[in-house]
Amino acid sequence: MKKIQVYLMALVMVPFFASCGYNSMVEKSEAVDASWAQVENVYQRRADLIPNLVNTVKGYAAHEKETLQGVIEARSKATSVNIDASKLNAESLAQFQQAQGGLSSALSKLMVVMERYPDLKANQNFLELQAQLEGTENRITVERQRFNDASKDYNTYIKKFPRVIYAKWFDFVEKPYFKAEEGSNKAPKVEF
């Protein structure tokens, strides 16, 4: 008799799980995780370019040690912040974004310093590294947008009725978005 009850329960549960969107929630959650992995991948590419850039600059701008050290330290901080995609939340994303923002700021300072060295600006290795870094920054922007799109799709899906009920049962929680850095809505001041 118990076997029959188990089979009947299974027959009732299969359509329930098929209609509640559980599989779609899993697929969309995995899409967010995969998109996050790609974001980390392009940030890692940027981090990998930095030692070569710093070494190229060292030869030309030896007395710019403070700036070079700042870039190295910012890279170290940025690469030390690792987030498990399954535990991604607004707080951990903000921490990641802050570390990456520090690296972006340090790189900006390095690029300003390099303007003072015409020989460096003409160096082929430096020009190639600079082009790769610019391309990587563009990739970061694209992958962040893709991550936000995947998060939006997932978040919208789990918030619709009746899935909002099932999502909570199965611990499908809202995924965070990348946001613009504080103060980025103000145009920079340019003085000549």
* Full 3-state SS string of the chain: CHHHHHHHHHHHHHHHHHHHCHHHHHHHHHHHHHHHHHHHHHHHHHHHHHHHHHHHHHHHCCCCHHHHHHHHHHHHHHHHCCCCHHHCCHHHHHHHHHHHHHHHHHHHHHHHHHCCCHHHHHCHHHHHHHHHHHHHHHHHHHHHHHHHHHHHHHHHHHHCCCHHHHHHHCCCCCCCCCCCCCCCCCCCCCCC
Distance CA 95, CA 33 (A): 17
Report the percentage of the chain scoring pLDDT > 90.
Answer: 50
Residue 104 lies in a domain: yes
- Name the average pLDDT for the chain: 86
Residue 148 lies in a domain: yes
pTM metric for this prediction: 0.80
Domain span including residue 99: 23-160
State yes or no: pLDDT of 192 exceeds 60: no
CATH number for 83? 1.20.1440.20
pLDDT number for residue 142: 96
State how many domains the chain has: 1
Residue 172 lies in a domain: no
Residue 36 lies in a domain: yes
Report the percentage of the chain scoring pLDDT > 70.
Answer: 88
Dump pLDDT digits (tens) for 16-63.
555 568 889 999 999 999 999 999 999 999 999 999 888 888 877 777
Residue 12 lies in a domain: no
Residue 51 lies in a domain: yes
Residue 6 lies in a domain: no
Those residues whose C-beta lies under 8 Å from the C-beta of residue 40, and which sit 6 or more positions away, are: 82, 83
State yes or no: pLDDT of 117 exceeds 60: yes
pLDDT number for residue 181: 72
Dump pLDDT digits (tens) for 65-99.
888 889 999 999 999 998 888 888 999 999 999 99
Residue 145 lies in a domain: yes
**Beta-carbon neighbour count of residue 145 at 10 Å?**
13
